[in-house]
Structure 1
Amino acid sequence: MEESEIATQKEIVDNKRDRDSTETKTNEAKGEVSSQMSDPESVCKPPGETEVRFNRMKLFEKVMQKSLERFIHDASFNRFASIFRPLYKKNPQRMESIYKQFKDELQKAIQEDINRLIEEGQLERKFNELDKLERAAKNNPDPAWRPSGVPEQDFCSFLIPYYQKQDAYMRLELKKIQAENADLAQKVQAGRESIAETENRILATVDEWKASVTEFERLASSLCPAKVFDV
């Protein structure tokens, strides 16, 4: 009974401490906002300074930090002890030490996961791209796209431009391939003509060689008759 009362008092003190810290942060945030609203120069800052003040990455980190603090706060010692009540009854101090270690390790693991998410997801670069899109949208007088309420039309309006770009790309590639094929066909035709000319030269050379052999045989037979060599 006394242990439950001590745990209850401890939870009340922890809750009061968390509320005080939350109120302090809220008051500080309100003070920053009021100072920004009271300063007319801050309202009329250029877009570059406004980006520095309202950085999406910093805002994301604050939101994740606040969510982590709320999650750790919900994982209170009383809930932890209620799960392991037999162990808590045997050694409350040891259980409290285990809870502190568990809370620290849990917070560290979640923070590492958040950092890994920011790094692998390249959130900072994506947020910068979002800022660029927002600035481009402000400078664009045309109304932004909104869903029509008919999924088929919205789906087609998204896919048709994509397929049109793909069609234009394929047509361009087809023209390139056709031009390459035409060039290759000209080279093949030129090669065939060269081979035909070479064959003609070879045939002409063979004919000349045959004629020269025939002429040589004729001359040889006229200069050396066969009867001269008869015994």
Structure 2
Amino acid sequence: MSLSRSQLQAISVTERVCSAVSLLGTFVIVISFLSSSSFRKPINRLVFYASWGNMMANVATLMSQSGVRLGTASGLCQFQGFLIQWFMPADALWTFAMACNVWLTFFHKYDSEQLRRLEVKYLLACYGLPFVPAFVYFFIETKTRGKIYGAATLWCWVSTPWDFLRIGLFYGPVWFIMCLTIFIYVRTGSVIYQKRQQLNRAGNTESSSTAASLKDIQLSKVTEFSITREIVHTMQVPLEGDGDPISTKSLHTFYCPYSVTIQAGSDLKDSEKTAEQPLGHDQVSTGIQRRATVMETNSAAWAYSKYAILFFIALLITWVPSTANRVYSLVLPHKANFELNYISDTNAANSTTARAAASPSPPPPAPVALTPGPRVAKLQEIFDKALARTLRANSYANFSSCFPTPAKHVPASLESVWRQLNAKLEESAKAEFEDILTERDAVRQLNELDRLVGEAKYRKDHGVGQESVAPHTLPPDELFRSHLLPYMRETQSSLNHKIESVQDENAELAQRVQAQRREIQDLLVGLESVVADLEVAAAAATQFGSDNNLRQEAAEMDEDIRARSEI
């Protein structure tokens, strides 16, 4: 049983009205994004990209049954089916892309720049994947079923003979993507909820311990100190999964101005009364600040949980009725349900929603305040004391001793000159000191040191170990060094190995050189003995004179032997 003419007319009118409202919402999103830079966050950019696909889908739904009335073979009917098949699944893909951004931010610590580099891939995937079947459908036609694009009750889409393609290449992939999206939000929301409970318990424990410690305070000193420090409290909350922590600094950063009040009195009882309240108030303020930090962290975590729940409800409202209608048409192909068709048609026409929300990427840390902290105050105190000693050294007695004649005749004028000189010296010294503080950015640097020292003391007192740091929270130079660290360690290990090898070779060569030196030393000793023998032989040869010449006698004997041999 098909729908009546009045029912089709009601569906068509509702479809076009909802499509017009949806188009208006899409225009608001596009105009807001283009006109204001504050909207250009990662998740809002994805909504902006998805809005163009929703706009084209709404153009298709605005056509309503006009394509069916012109005939399934008409260009309008084929174009309407192409737009629906292409752009309606893209909405679910963009929703999955947003969920992927949330997953990458919370569990892999992606920053806004890394998420921005993924947007080109998201564009290609969200609009490229559904384009393939939508374009291929133009070229498929059989004698028994005809073309794929044809009448589909509400509009031109995948015709009834090809109804299995609606589940296989439309609702099936969409629900698979939606299940992945739901898993991401449930997983992230559950982890945040668990950490929120842990923070609640930690906050309650800390506040009760602070209140108990106040009861034991006993004050007996006369001097009263009322100190409020400017310390940015940061906590590391480890996430389940890959173990990387979420810095609650990204959720909330709490800090207050710094002030110092010092009073003194002689009455011990009065001082006990006055000193007891400021010191207790300081400790209570510290407990309240920590409690406020925990509460703000809980609020941020719960805000994200509500955001994920609303996203999940929007997905269900959009796709559950439409899927139920498709399943109903498969089970009962010859029977149409007006209520399911009406609800699914309305949800399809209103698939564009303004999902503008805060970016999941953590905000930048709060700037270090320029209100003087303890170290800045101490530096100012040291400068004031040094300047006071300098001015005391330039006393009037020392100054007048340098000018005895004016001191004797015009002492009042000389004293006036001395006072003006000291005032000018004090003024110029203070001005130069302020210039140095401004030039070196000393206030901010010392306040940052106060914050680090306070955080270190807090970690030491509470037994908090060094936690890992999220990469996207590092400054560029530290991030660059962290990326180079593995290569530098590998290079250092290789160089150390080469140095050890060269040192071993040098030791071996040194031993060989020492052995050769000893051999040369022995040869020199033998050579010296030979030279000594030669010198002795030469000396012995010079002892014979001309009367006892052995050579001459030997020559005569040789001649005598030759003469006899000839005879």
TM-score by length of 2: 0.19
Q: Which has the higher helix share?
A: 1
Q: Which has the higher strand share?
A: 2
TM-score by length of 1: 0.42
